[in-house]
Amino acid sequence: MKKSIVLLFLCSNLMVVGQTKKLQLSEAIDMAKKNSPEYKAVLNQSQASYWRYRTFVAEYLS
């Protein structure tokens, strides 16, 4: 029983490895942009600004 489970697991991994996804150039560029450190820094800065504003409004109203 355990051998069949292990064999099934190994076969399923081999099927997943064999699959590839074709990307258009524009999709590859978008993926690279979203995974870049600059994008993540700008996203973090934007979120920090949002919460700084929310804090300001909350303190102003109280």
Q: What is the mean pLDDT of residues 4-28?
A: 71
Return the closest-CA partner of residue 21 out of 31, 11, 12: 31
Judged by average pLDDT, the poorest of 18-27, 29-38, 44-53 is 18-27
**Polymer length of the chain:** 62
Q: Does residue 4 fall inside a structural domain?
A: no
Q: Is residue 35 in a domain?
A: yes
Answer whether residue 11 is part of any domain: no
What is the C-alpha to C-alpha distance for residues 55 and 59, in angstroms, rounded to an integer? 6
pTM surpassing 0.85?
Answer: no
CA angle 43, 46, 52 (to 5 degrees): 140
User: By residue range, what is the domain housing residue 59?
Assistant: 20-62
Residue 16 pLDDT exceeds 60? no
Is the pLDDT score of 14 beyond 60? Answer: no
Asked if residue 56 belongs to a domain, the reply is yes
**For residue 15, is it within any domain?**
no
- The stretch 25-46 carries a mean pLDDT of 95
